[in-house]
Amino acid sequence: MGNFGQLMDGFVVALTMHHVMIMVIGVLLGLVVGVLPGLGAPNGVSLLLPLTFTMDPIAAIILLTSMYWGALFGGSTTSILFNIPGEPSSVATTFDGHPMAKQGEAVRALTLAFGSAGFGAMVGVVVITLLSGWVANFALQFGSPEYFAVYFMAFASFIGMAGGSPFKTLVCIMLGLAVGTVGMDTISGEGRLTFGITQLTNGISFLIVVIGLFGIGELLLTIDEGYKFDGVKAKLSLRVILRTLAELPRYWVTLLRSALIGCWMGITPGGPTAASFMSYALGKRFSRRGKYFGKGEPEGIVAPETADHSAGSCALLPMLALGVPGSATAAVMMGGLMIWGLSPGPMLFTTRPDFVWGLIASMYLGNVIAVVLVLATVPIFAWILRAPFTVVGPLIAIVCLIGAYTVSNHVFDIWVALGFGLVGYVFKKLEYPLAPFVLAVVLGDKAEDAFRQSMLSSGGSLSVFFEGSLVATMMGIGILLLSLPLITALFGALFRRGREEGQTHSS
Amino acid sequence: MQITSLRKGVLTASALAIGLTAANAAMAEWKPNRPVELVVSAGPGGGSDIFTRVVQAALTKNDLVETPLIVVNKPGGSGSEAFNYAEDNVGSPYKVYFGTQDAYVLPLGTKVNYAMKDLTPVASMVFDVFILWANPKASGINTAQEFVAKAKENPGKVRVAGAKAKDADETVVTLVERAAGIDLAYIPYKSGSEAAIQVAGGHIEANTNNPSESLEQWKAGNQKPLCVFTSARLTDKTVVADGMSWADIPTCVESGIDVKDFVQPRTVWMAADVPPEALAYYTDLMKKAMDTPEFKDYTTRNVQITKFMTGDELKTFLAEQIKNYEKIYADNNWLLPASQ
């Protein structure tokens, strides 16, 4: 109840004309930044940071977080339309979003994505409102073994996902892990797999990999197989948007499951990217229409988008309460907090309640504004799709290359992206799954760090992963998820044999 | 004919003279006439990044510069990317580089694409101090003496967290091990705040850190400062928590760990061969930045030691620092093999 009262005070702070204007500007800027791959939320926020020096901290954080929401929404747009994820966390949205857009239902795909994203964000903010006091203490319970367990769960849920050749999945994961190890190793301080190339010492940015694999890879595939985009058929109408929004409640099971996964991964150190992957994988496993995932299935869009946004909102909580940024964007915002003279940490909630609750209230408003604005842009994006490939193709190529360059202003990265474009093309031709590869690049490095930190602090004993109740539970769920295909296969075989035996007996 | 050529000569001479006066004027009052890049040897959100952005905010807000200042992060290769950029932009007066001891320590242990001769030192503005922290509730360690005693009882079992490997934190931990004759388990994390949270959560016994990174956890009672790695105690007497102020933290030397003056300078550099008037301009500018309220807030908040060094004083300081680090790196066997 105390929280609720403070939230109302927060709304008083956030609901001024000045602040609402700032939200609109922030969301619009965020949309632009999110749509351009490579530019991304972290870069956008750090570009805006100097502007905030002269603002008061509340207005400043509202501007930055609104931009963050805008970028999260914008990132999904390019995923769906061009198969280029604008943000790392919207990679999983490409799996079904792009096929659906290709079938001429771009408007439906975008609306589904934005609608479920808005729902996810709202759940995330509600969780923050209700649990803010408790989460800070909970997050403190996470040592390295717990970190590893969270990543292990994400991996397990994905590996456990049936489909395709298990051998090919394994190959992709291994290659992904190898790409993830490139660069400076946190534990030893040595460069790995850099082959003496100095540009590689900082590792290969995940964004570059994704721009190459998805954006350029898809482009090559389109050139090879011919343009099959049914964008022309896309009916541009408000009715489609409204009908799709009305369709959303039908997926309430997926929405709720994904929001829960998202909140969990946002509060724990998993983060939005892992959340969207995990939610997609579990959606594929548990949905009745799971076998249609990857072919333009609505639930395949709803699952990752909901989880992505609820995780994105929840990830702000550890930042405020502990001073540990949950994502690259949060790290930049935290730098901002310090420059404005605030120190994030357990005391922020008591010393500056107006700031914290003003921010939380602005998250409610900012997300509503973002959903409305982003839905308004759907017709514009649908219109772009009507352009012939001779126009869209080169445009995508340029956007990809500029995106690769802007990640960290390296010309070298453009070559890396082109290289991964070839890899993506070959993988698709040979039907190697890209998702496990991407997941391994994102989480491999973090999981390895957490594992080695646990080993260092336990003196090399694996029992640390089963000692605490929290870590043991998570590892248990992970192992269960991992062995699920095996168990179902086993049960299936037993059941079938039982039936066959029954049949032979009866005959 | 002769006259015309004479006239020409006079004309050239006067033109030259005008040119010279213009050059003189420029020398006296050099000012950038286009945006200046502030290049940071770290990613967004880190200590060096905040330092640079505070300088940017201080200069911009107080109208000390007329052209825009743009912060550019070049964290690649542990920050060597930033200094490598200086090598690529020899003599450019529109780029100023911000770092720590990394500028001169990096070439010792890693293969980098620049050498110290590619950099012109501008100034060292403040020192970040290092503090040894512990979680009193989870580890039962309340003082530096108890820390050493516990490490002696359990050799190699007391864990100390810090940011990154072979960086400042691990360096100071090796110094502590040698000075106190103990064996610790150093565990590297991606950042200092991550390491602090591990200690606050009771997963790790102790960590070394800049004061600001653990301040909030100290207030919350999850961390306690054991000793500070300086030769004299800190001066800030405002009470932080448990009736203790920064000035009440004993130095490590007082507590029997003979490691003094392990501090992190916040340094400013330019490329080699920059025009002397530009160097003078930026030296002066940094001095002015230090006097702004924004910068003073920053140093108070981070419990830093303010000491502006430039010119010969800075050069002597740097030479001494490099010598010290060479010794530490040699002792730790971290030096780059000579063959490379």
Tell me the pLDDT tens digit for each residue of B129-175: 999 999 999 999 999 999 999 999 999 999 999 988 888 999 999 99
Residues of A in contact with B78 (CB under 8 A): 184, 201
Q: Strand A191-192 and strand A183-184: pairing?
A: antiparallel
Given an 8 Å threshold on Cβ–Cβ distance, is A345 in contact with B81? no
Q: Count helices and strands (H / E) in chain B.
A: 12, 13
Which residue from A61, A333, A422 is spatially nearest to B44, judged by alpha carbons? A333
Given an 8 Å threshold on Cβ–Cβ distance, is B188 in contact with A332? no
Whether A186 has its CB under 8 Å from any CB of chain B: the answer is: yes
Most B CBs within 10 Å, among A187, A339, A413, to test the B interface: A339
Mean pLDDT of all residues in A86-92: 81
Q: Name the residue ranges covered by the structural domains of chain B.
A: 36-127+264-332, 131-248
User: CA of A143, closest CA in chain B: separation in Å?
Assistant: 6
pLDDT of residue B5: 47
Neighbours of B22 (CB within 10 A): 10
Among A156-165, B205-214, B270-279, top mean pLDDT goes to: B270-279
pLDDT at B323 over 90: yes
pLDDT of residue A229: 59
pLDDT of residue A163: 60
Confidence band, pLDDT 50/70/90 cuts, at residue A162: low
Given an 8 Å threshold on Cβ–Cβ distance, is B164 in contact with A323? no
Given an 8 Å threshold on Cβ–Cβ distance, is B84 in contact with A328? no
> Please, which contacts does A225-230 make with residues 24 or more away whose CB atoms are closer than 8 Å?
A227/A389, A227/A393, A228/A102, A229/A102, A229/A385, A229/A389, A229/A392, A230/A102, A230/A103, A230/A104
pLDDT at B315 over 90: yes
Given an 8 Å threshold on Cβ–Cβ distance, is B81 in contact with A332? no
Residues of A in contact with B200 (CB under 8 A): 140
Confidence band, pLDDT 50/70/90 cuts, at residue B314: very high
Distance CA B209, CA B207 (A): 6
pLDDT in tens, A371-409: 999 888 887 877 777 777 788 788 888 888 888 888 777
Given an 8 Å threshold on Cβ–Cβ distance, is B76 in contact with A408? yes
Which segment of A53-67, A130-144, A153-167, A353-367 scores lowest on mean pLDDT? Answer: A153-167
Architecture of the structural domain at B131-248 = 3-Layer(aba) Sandwich (3.40)
Q: What percent of chain B is predicted at pLDDT more than 70?
A: 91
**Residue B296, CA atoms < 13 Å, CB-side half-sphere:** 4
Mean pLDDT of all residues in A457-470: 89
Across all residues in chain A, what is the average pLDDT? 84
Confidence band, pLDDT 50/70/90 cuts, at residue B339: very low
Q: SS3 for A393?
A: helix
B90 burial via Cβ count (<10 Å: 0-12, 13-18, 19+)? exposed
pLDDT at A37 over 70: no
CA nearest A350 in B: which residue? Answer: B220
Residues of B in contact with A50 (CB under 8 A): 53, 56-57, 60, 69, 71
pLDDT of residue A506: 46
Pick A54's closest partner by Cβ from B61, B170, B193.
Answer: B61
pLDDT of residue A227: 65
User: CA of B192, closest CA in chain A: separation in Å?
Assistant: 10
Mean pLDDT of all residues in A122-130: 90
CA nearest B184 in A: which residue? Answer: A457
Whether A246 has its CB under 8 Å from any CB of chain B: the answer is: no
User: CA of A208, closest CA in chain B: separation in Å?
Assistant: 15
pLDDT of residue A234: 52
Distance CA A166, CA A160 (A): 10
Which residue from A104, A92, A128, A107 is spatially nearest to A7, judged by alpha carbons? A128
Given an 8 Å threshold on Cβ–Cβ distance, is A335 in contact with B46? yes
Q: Write the DSSP symbol of residue B225.
A: E
Rounded to the nearest 5°, which phi and psi values hold at B167? Answer: -110, -165
Sign of torsion, CA A160 A165 A169 A171?
positive
Let me know if the fold of B36-127+264-332 is the same as that of B131-248.
yes
Is 0.85 exceeded by the ipTM?
Answer: no
A465 burial via Cβ count (<10 Å: 0-12, 13-18, 19+)? buried
pLDDT of residue B15: 47
User: CA of B310, closest CA in chain A: separation in Å?
Assistant: 25
pLDDT in tens, B180-202: 999 999 999 988 888 888 999 99
Distance CA B267, CA B286 (A): 11
Whether A325 has its CB under 8 Å from any CB of chain B: the answer is: yes
Alpha helices (H) along A160-193? 166-181
pLDDT of residue A400: 86
Residues of B in contact with A57 (CB under 8 A): none
Beta bridge partners of B73: B40
Q: Could you tell me which CATH class the domain B36-127+264-332 is placed in?
A: alpha beta
Given an 8 Å threshold on Cβ–Cβ distance, is A198 in contact with B54? no
Most A CBs within 10 Å, among B98, B159, B216, to test the A interface: B216
Whether A331 has its CB under 8 Å from any CB of chain B: the answer is: yes
pLDDT of residue A353: 83
Q: Strand B224-228 and strand B131-134: pairing?
A: antiparallel
pLDDT at A507 over 80: no
CA nearest A51 in B: which residue? Answer: B57
CA nearest A189 in B: which residue? Answer: B165
Mean pLDDT of all residues in B251-264: 93
Distance CA B179, CA B172 (A): 10
Which residue from A91, A132, A131, A90 is spatially nearest to A114, judged by alpha carbons? A90
pLDDT of residue A362: 87
Residues of A in contact with B297 (CB under 8 A): 341
Given an 8 Å threshold on Cβ–Cβ distance, is A335 in contact with B45? yes
Q: SS3 for B188?
A: strand
Angle formed by the axes of helices B192-200 and A106-140, nearest 10°: 50
Given an 8 Å threshold on Cβ–Cβ distance, is A144 in contact with B45? no
Tokens coding A167: 């051998």
Neighbours of B248 (CB within 10 A): 15
- Global pTM reads 0.83
CA nearest B52 in A: which residue? Answer: A339
pLDDT of residue B25: 47
Residues of B in contact with A42 (CB under 8 A): 44
Pick B78's closest partner by Cβ from A54, A184, A332.
Answer: A184
Mean pLDDT of all residues in B217-226: 91
CA nearest A334 in B: which residue? Answer: B45
Given an 8 Å threshold on Cβ–Cβ distance, is A346 in contact with B189? no
A:B CB pairs within 8 Å: 142
Residues of B in contact with A198 (CB under 8 A): 76-77, 80-81, 84, 111-113
Tokens coding A266: 């946002």
Mean pLDDT of all residues in B258-274: 94
Pick A186's closest partner by Cβ from B50, B164, B297.
Answer: B164
Residues of B in contact with A197 (CB under 8 A): none
Alpha helices (H) along chain B? 2-28, 47-61, 80-88, 102-109, 136-139, 144-153, 168-180, 192-200, 211-219, 276-290, 293-301, 311-332
Pick B197's closest partner by Cβ from A42, A189, A322.
Answer: A322
Q: Count helices and strands (H / E) in chain A.
A: 23, 2
Residues 40-69 of A with CB under 8 A from B: 42, 46, 49-50, 53-54
Distance CA A303, CA A307 (A): 6
Which residue from B3, B8, B75, B6 is spatially nearest to B42, judged by alpha carbons? B75
Those residues whose C-beta lies under 8 Å from the C-beta of residue B64, and which sit 6 or more positions away, are B58, B285, B288, B289, B292
Q: Which secondary structure element, helix H or strand E, spans residue A362, and what is its range?
A: helix A353-384
pLDDT of residue A308: 92
